[in-house]
Amino acid sequence: MHNLTQNYKYSFSSCELLNFINNNDTPFWVYDHNIIIKKIQLLKKFDTIRFAQKACSNIHILNIMKQNDVKVDAVSYGEIKRAILAGFIPNNNDIIFTSDIIDKKTLSLVTKLNIPVNIGSIDMLHQLGKCSPNHKIWIRINPGFGYGHNKKTNTGGDNSKHGILFPEQTLDIIKKYNFELVGIHMHIGSGVNYKHLKKVCNSMFHQICTLNQNIQYISAGGGLSIPYKTNEKEIDINNYFQEWNETKKKIEKRLGHSITLEIEPGRFLVAESGILVCQVYSIKKTNLFKFVLTDAGFNDLMRPVMYGSYHYISIIAGDNRKINQENLYDTVIGGPLCESGDIFTQDNNGNIMSRKLPKIHVGDYLIFHQVGAYGSSMSSNYNSRPLISEFLFTEKKFKQIRRPQKIEDLIQLEQKI
Ligand code: LLP
């Protein structure tokens, strides 16, 4: 069988995986504990690593972060609850709530638990101030430019709803409510281009000089990209760290005291640890394409449909035959959903793209790689399809870390109202 591994070697062999598949219902997610640990180690030079849990918010994954001294970012009431369940301590700088709006329920939770809030709008400042004066806050600055692997993940500039574009407007309000401004945060987008790195660092320095506040933390945000295609390279973390560390030193000199440098990655820590396993149920041809249809759809993995994202796909034979990697065929991979766009091989404009893949039979298994980030966490119940199982490969075993949803779980929400 073809080596499943891309840039990181999985801790399980393809035979172990096949054995596991044979005893379980597809589709399901698997995360490799060791790969997450390796990715955390790469960022250890930063004073604080804060996991953007929106990438993968299973409490067992959050617990791995906690065990390895990684803190957590939460962007909703639900993410705060998850963080607490995973063992993070609310008033210990373990959890920061980042958002551009704060609803009533979340406002009362952050107030009660004293969770620092990373403020993304002026309205939010007033709403928090009325409820919880003296609160510990960060300001999320929109530096006026951004970048992303897709325009939907660019979070800076005039097209972005995120962050505060004119941070000097916050100063009077901060005084009014006697907020404790502890940090400045900048996240220009997801899947950043390193040409922008110097620009972001310079902007952080200049904003802090202009604001002239005695802050204790800066956050470089998330956005670190990972190689999705085999010809893509890992980013140079040392270079990334050096640029930020020099910025930190410049700011320390200016403020006259030391500060803490945070980084807030989601994708970088978990993407490569995750796979999605599904089975082929039908193969059909049109005059243009060969469609291979699986039991996983965009309700499970949404990235290809939402952004035209590429995920490497490998095949495990369902009948023990050896997969011939030499002869490749133009193949389109789709899911079971009642929607034409339920295609995993498409570009950013929704055009169907064939992929050169070995011959696939009905009954074979397909593995989608690098889906640990924004895979499961973006799944939905479209077409009344329940959420699928998640497993963690740890201590040489596949351990279930989420049971599959049952259709009854969904239906129950609508009954006995
Ligand atoms: N910090 C903030 C404030 C963010 O908004 C995000 C991502 C991150 C950190 C983490 O970014 P990362 O290191 O994962 O790039 N669903 C998209 C990605 C959306 C990212 C949203 N914010 C995808 O599947 O590519």
- pLDDT at residue 96, as a whole number: 98
> What pLDDT is recorded for position 150?
86
Q: Is the CB of 223 under 6 A from ligand 1?
A: yes
- Please say if 338 is a catalytic residue: yes
Q: Calculate how far, in angstroms, residue 1's C-alpha sits from the geometric centre of ligand 1.
A: 34
Is 395 exposed, middle or buried (CB count within 10 Å of its CB: 0-12, 13-18, 19+)? exposed
Separation between Cα atoms, residue 62 and residue 70, nearest integer Å: 9
For residue 223, the ligand 1 atom closest to its alpha carbon is 15
User: Residue 249's pLDDT is what?
Assistant: 98
- 377 C-beta closer than 6 A to ligand 1: no
- pLDDT confidence of residue 2: 46
pLDDT in the model for residue 386: 98
Q: Which residues of 190-215 are buried (b: 16+ CB within 10 A; e: fewer)?
A: bbbeeebbeebbebbbebbeebebeb
Contact (Cβ atoms closer than 8 angstroms) between residue 283 and residue 362 = yes
User: Dihedral of CA 318/323/329/333: which sign?
Assistant: positive
The pLDDT value recorded for residue 6 is 65
Ligand 1 pocket mutation, candidates 54, 100, 141, 269, criterion most atoms within 8 A of CB: 54
Confirm if 52 and 61 have CB atoms less than 8 A apart: no
pLDDT tens for each residue of the chain, 417 residues long: 445 556 789 999 989 999 999 999 999 999 999 999 999 999 999 999 999 999 999 999 999 999 999 999 999 999 999 999 999 999 889 999 999 999 999 999 999 999 999 999 999 999 999 999 999 999 999 998 888 888 888 888 898 899 999 999 999 999 999 999 999 999 988 877 677 888 999 999 999 999 999 999 999 999 999 999 988 888 899 999 999 999 999 999 999 999 999 999 999 999 999 999 999 999 999 999 999 999 999 999 999 999 999 999 999 999 999 999 999 999 999 999 999 999 999 999 999 999 999 999 999 999 999 999 999 999 999 999 999 999 999 999 999 999 999 999 999 999 977
The one-character DSSP state at 153 is G
Q: Are 129 and 181 in contact (CB under 8 A)?
A: no
Find out whether the peptide bond into 27 is cis, omega within 30 degrees of 0. yes
pLDDT of 266 reads 98
Residue owning the nearest CA to atom 9 of ligand 1: 222
User: Is 221 close to ligand 1, i.e. is its CB under 6 Å away?
Assistant: yes
Are 138 and 91 within 8 A, CB to CB? no
Q: How far is the CA of 51 from the centre of ligand 1 (A)?
A: 10
- Ligand 1 within 6 A of CB of 153: yes
Sorted by sequence, the CB contacts under 8 Å of residue 361 that are 6+ apart come out as 280, 283, 317, 318, 319, 321
Q: Is 303 in the pocket of ligand 1 (CB under 6 A)?
A: yes
Q: Is 267 in the pocket of ligand 1 (CB under 6 A)?
A: yes
User: What's the 302 CA to ligand 1 centre distance in angstroms?
Assistant: 15
Residues in contact with 232: Cβ distance below 8 Å, sequence separation at least 6, in sequence order: none
- Pocket lining: 187 vs ligand 1, CB cutoff 6 Å: yes
264 pocket-lining for ligand 1 (C-beta < 6 Å)? yes
CA of 223 to the centre of ligand 1 (A): 6
Tell me how far the alpha carbon of residue 360 lies from the centroid of ligand 1, in angstroms.
Answer: 34
> Nearest residue CA, atom 24 of ligand 1?
374
Strand, coil or helix: what is 372? coil
Q: Which of 97, 147, 190, 269 to mutate to test the pocket of ligand 1 (most atoms within 8 A of CB)?
A: 190
